[in-house]
A and B are shown apart, each in its own frame.
Chain A
Amino acid sequence: MMSSKQGKSGASRRDVLAGLSAGTALLAMPWVARAQGETIRIGFPTPLTGPFAAEAKDQVKSAELAVKLVNDKGGIAGRKVELLVRDDKLNAGEAATRTLELIEKDKVHAVVGALSSAVQLAVNEVTRARGVIYVSISQSDTINEVKDFSRFTFHEALNPHMTTAAVAKHTFKQGTKVAYLVADYAYGHEMLRGFKRAEAALGATGVGEILHPFGAADYSTFMPRLRSMRPDILCICNFGRDQANAIKQAVDFGMKQQMQIVVPVLLHNQRLAIGPEAFEGVIGGANYYWGLEEAIPSAKAFNDAFRAANGGAVPTDYGAYGFTGVYSLLLAMEKAGGTDTDKVIAALEELQYDIAKGPQHYRKCDHQSVQSVLVLESKKKADMGSEADFFRVVATEPASESILRSCSELGLPA
């Protein structure tokens, strides 16, 4: 213990403190000197723990791949890129705290990430208040709308409107009766809203909606009522393990013999976790499927790079968001010649990119990534050509601004 009184021997506290601060200054010096070549830091909050952990880990792997590819080519204007991954625990408060920390403490130059519609809105609140660019890679309609949008906000993921419109177009018909099982939070509500709009446009009829608590393990108590609605289509609007459990239990209850099961987003990881039997014949949308490599050269290049970095594994749907989200941002930074926020925003708005799934660009008014939407059907076990050959591409809705809501509907100037 250091005495508060000046002793006869040894260094005084003042000497020690003076020495310490001199040392700190010395350590800090080189940082000032090499500010020019400062590493570009990208913050990446994602729910590494919780029911969406499988999807989140794929996002990280793919995001790391994008960073690696750019660094291998010498970085951006001679600067290395670093990805700072943080666990947001699928909690809006946690995500806001981690994001604030990334901005204030780690001094990130931009943020990419989040995997839940509610969580991404919390991240967006923080980034837009601090004037930091945020590329969201989770489905949301509200983030495009005037209330949540800001010029710092970009949305690389599909949004529920375009996803549900594409899925409904290939499953709903004139007079089709549709029953909905919906997770009771933002994602479920937005998907339901999208399907209801498509339902009206296509002449289908809704015969009932059941909202279920988020993260439920047992869906048996919802099945008798869903069956009593006598639908042609059972539309299950939930995500992650909720999707897996709900589909499995609907199949256990023999629902598939009487109705077609449709989901907004057909998840690679949940199909993997549940097996081919339960998912057989289920139809849903997707932003990406590795099988695109047969037709699209950029998909082939992405898959090959991913396979090389991950022991032969193929990238997944939500994983691809990690890649396209980070890569498009880095391409814009390259064009902007650095990390100046205004220049990067301008570059993102001008950017035309084809890095995994064909041509994409960010629409100017709402910064929504205009891109193709896939409609997939889960294959029978017997039809699978390889271990990861899960899905058949039923249809591809091409990238076009016509599948988005208009700028004026969103409350934004065109």
Chain B
Amino acid sequence: MDAELIAMQLFSGVALGAILIMVALGLSIIFGMLGVVNFAHGALFMVGAYAGLWVASLTGSFWWGLLVAPVAIGLFGMAIERVLIRPLYRRSVDDPLLLTFGLGYVLVEAVRIAFGSDGIPFPTPPELAGVADLGIGFFPIYRLFVVGVVAAVLILVWLCLEKTRFGLIVRAGARDPLIMRVLGVDIAGVWLLVFGLGVGLTALGGVLAAPMRNVNPEMGSLVLAEAFVVTVIGGMGSLVGAVVAGLLVGVAISMTALFAPEMATIVMFALMALVLLVRPQGLFGKPGRA
């Protein structure tokens, strides 16, 4: 077991974590701001991948798919919030949960009807095909690209939430929506945008994952489980938590893959159980919420 291999394994873990972060981020934003546990998150990830595939096949370019699909699915997410979820805010927290749970099934079946239940090839864009020599080993260029995109998106989301007036309203609204209403802020409009943003992020995750894992109607179900584990470890609703936990889980999976590969899936659940025992609100979560 040489140092190069361990370094390479660490890097693989970080790259895997980047994808986990992308998926967990939207889930965490929606829960943190709206208090909605979005069980349709995995299905929307899958719908995003299919939308990306569809746009890419129409235009002949992966880049249009990457650009258009997240925006389109984000708008679709806003429609879901406006029509289906908004009427449920006054009711118990279980109602949006049940609604999105059912919605997930509807989306998967709809995609099966429209695109068939077999997988569809999604080739790596030719500009990003091939491997790069990192000095410690070879790594696919496309995965490096994904790490770059995720980093850029994280910086953008952070700037948007911390440095803009919109971000200020979002953060205030998450703490006390009633006061925001009293101050004359249209909190309903803010929630609409936040839900759209969260859904758009998971759709982007779907398009990014497609060239690595290909596209099939069930691709969202595993992703949903991973996203929940990451948000629970990081703390439900905490963005920093989603990032740290995403990287942590990625590296944990990668290191387990090196020493006990058959445990590589179970390790994230073990990690979650451990965190819940020691710190039930998650690494960066505030006690009392959820």
Contact = CB atoms under 8 A, between A and B. Distances in A.
A2 B218 CA distance: 49
Contacts of A225: 5, 9, 257-258
Contacts of A245: 213-214
Interface string A172-186: 000000000000100
A147 to B, nearest CB: 24
B148 interface: no
A244 B131 CA distance: 19
A54 B119 contact: yes
B96 interface: no
A9 interface: no
B262 A275 contact: no
Contact of B12 (A50, A54, A220): A220
Nearest to B226: A217
A301 interface: no
Contacts of B212: 218, 220, 248-249, 252
Interface string B250-283: 0001100110011111100000000000000000
A228 B5 contact: yes
Contacts of B253: 221
Contacts of B222: 215, 217
Contacts of A50: 218
Contact of B261 (A211, A217, A254, A274): A211
What secondary structure prevails in chain A residues at the interface with B? helix
A254 B138 contact: yes
B66 to A, nearest CB: 17
A273 B219 CA distance: 13
B210 to A, nearest CB: 11
A307 B41 CA distance: 40
A291 B25 CA distance: 48
Q: Contact size class for A?
A: 35 or more
Interface string A256-272: 00000000000001101
A240 to B, nearest CB: 10
Contacts of A213: 262-266
B138 A269 contact: no
A216 B19 CA distance: 15
Given A227-B137, A228-B5, A244-B119, A220 B15 contact: yes
A224 B8 contact: yes
**Residue picked from B130, B138, B257, most chain A C-beta under 10 Å:** B257
Contacts of B131: 252-254
B2 to A, nearest CB: 8
A53 B12 contact: no
Contacts of A275: 121, 123
A254 B140 CA distance: 7
Contacts of B19: 218
Nearest to B222: A217
Interface in A205-220: 210-213, 215-218, 220
A51 B130 CA distance: 28
Interface in B210-266: 212-214, 216, 218-219, 222-223, 253-254, 257-258, 261-266
Nearest to A277: B123
For B2, B118, B223, which residue has the most chain A Cβ atoms within 10 angstroms? B118
A246 B143 CA distance: 15
B64 interface: no
A223 interface: yes
A223 B258 CA distance: 10
A218 B214 contact: no
Contacts of A57: 117
A275 B124 CA distance: 11
A244 B121 CA distance: 10
B213 A221 contact: no
26 contacts: A53-B117, A54-B117, A211-B261, A213-B265, A216-B264, A220-B143, A221-B258, A224-B8, A224-B137, A225-B9, A225-B257, A227-B137, A227-B138, A241-B216, A244-B119, A244-B214, A245-B214, A248-B214, A252-B212, A253-B131, A254-B140, A273-B118, A273-B119, A273-B120, A273-B121, A274-B119
Interface of B: 2, 5, 8-9, 12-13, 15-16, 19, 117-121, 123-124, 130-131, 137-140, 142-143, 212-214, 216, 218-219, 222-223, 253-254, 257-258, 261-266
Ranked nearest first, the 9 interchain pairs of A and B with the lowest CB-CB distance are A273-B119, A275-B121, A221-B257, A254-B131, A213-B265, A211-B262, A224-B8, A252-B140, A221-B254
